[in-house]
Amino acid sequence: MASKMKVEHVELGFVEEADENDLTSHNFPSKVGGKPAWLSLSNLPSPDQVTCLICGDVMIFLMQVYAPDEEKDVAFHRILYLFICRNPSCCVPNSNNNIVVYRSQLGRYNNFYSSEPPEKSSRTVKGPTAEKYQPLCCVCGSSGPKRCSKCQRRSYCSKKHQVMDWKNGHKATCSKPSNKIIDYFFINDDGIKPSELLFPEFELVTEPENYKDSEKEKSETEKMEELNEFMKSEKAESLLQGVSSEDIEKMANKEEDEVFLYFRKRTQHEPEQVLRYNKGGCPLWVSKENSPSDTDIPKCEECGSDRQFEFQVMPQLLNFLKVDSLEKSIDWGTLCVYTCKDSCDIGSRYSKEFVWKQDFSPNKS
């Protein structure tokens, strides 16, 4: 992905169906959903480091973006990992307490992978996995320091995931004697069905944004008419998935429509985009409200350098995550990820970066 990425250009990300064998660690994938394809295979974030600050549950893997820093030998391979809490009630407007992002990077010559890129013919070959270096939760794929006390054959990140796995099949197999057949079918499987907890898995592919702002400046009346027409269109329904009709109507009546108008204008030519990568650039905000100042973005905790914007997750991704419910579901306007400007050396560890969550704005009271 990042080999094409330049500061002055925006790369758009789209989801595609892919063979799961192509989305493994040694293929350095960008992907959405499923279990993480860990870059550094050791020193994974502990369960405490991916715990929701609101409810205390372990967050679920949302997305990873392969984005090496060509100017840094220590970041020859570089991946950013986003996790989010599945509990809808933790999705508080404009709060990032239910989301976390981590950076992992390795030099070309490292302890885990060949210094040469994987050949197409070897993409389906099983490469090294993080499970060789520490137990992984059989439910979500994160670090799994807990074990089933009876069989000692399954690992978990939390008691909650252990209970889920027990109810979804492990109860029937736990007391069976260990043998190669049982180990193959029950110990190396996914445990819980992915559809019950994990997000659907897709490959994340990118292409340069082809956008030219050649239109002449329109009057306020023309802009409002254009916005109202857009709100009635199918594109609006697709782009604003998860936003109530009341909030959409309120947005259409706000004086601060300029920001949302530009968001709509910039995205309507590629309404399926789920990610915008623009390292060192500026986010495409969905609202004039709750956009950060420079002081809102903390410096890198590792080296003290400034952080810069790198990419944002778009609301369209919600359409592919199957999170709809009759009541409430997780949602966002956009998730903007800021990372260490220097891609500082973190060895084989995972370093926490910063995510800013902005939601579509309801009308002011």
Q: What pLDDT was estimated at residue 178?
A: 62
Does residue 230 surpass a pLDDT of 80? no
Q: pLDDT tens digits for 119-136? A: 775 666 788 999 999 999
Residue 360 to residue 94: CA distance in whole angstroms: 9
**224-261 CB burial, b ≥16 within 10 A, e <16:** eeebeebbeeeebeebbbbbeeebbeebbebeebebbb
Q: pLDDT tens digits for 285-317? A: 999 999 999 999 999 999 999 999 999 999 999
Which secondary-structure segment (H or E) carries 267?
helix 257-267
Residues 6+ apart with CB under 8 A from 134: 42, 44, 143, 144, 145
Contact 139, 156 (CB under 8 A): yes
Considering the entire predicted model, what is its pTM? 0.85
Q: pLDDT tens digits for 129-159? A: 999 999 999 999 999 999 999 998 899 999 9
Q: Please choose, from the candidates 61, 79, 172, 187, the residue with its C-alpha nearest in 3D space to the C-alpha of residue 131.
A: 187
pLDDT-based confidence at 105, cuts 50/70/90?
A: very high
What does the angle CA 182 – CA 187 – CA 191 come to, to the nearest 5 degrees?
A: 120
φ, ψ (nearest 5 deg) of residue 361: -90, 130
The number of C-alpha atoms within 13 Å of 353 and in the hemisphere containing its C-beta is 30
Helices (H), 103-244: 159-165, 171-173, 180-182, 194-197, 220-231, 234-239
Contact 96, 59 (CB under 8 A): no
Contact 96, 313 (CB under 8 A): no
CA distance readout (Å), 295 to 236, 289, 304, 306? 33, 16, 14, 10
Distance separating the N- and C-terminal Cα atoms of the chain: 43
Q: What pLDDT was estimated at residue 52?
A: 98
Contact 129, 23 (CB under 8 A): no
Does residue 4 surpass a pLDDT of 50? no
CB atoms within 10 A of CB 286: 28
Task: Using CB atoms within 10 Å of the CB of residue 324, give its burial: 0 to 12 exposed, 13 to 18 middle, 19+ buried.
Answer: exposed
What does the angle CA 232 – CA 234 – CA 239 come to, to the nearest 5 degrees?
A: 100
Does residue 362 surpass a pLDDT of 50? yes
Q: pLDDT tens digits for 179-218? A: 544 444 444 444 445 457 899 999 999 999 998 875 555 5
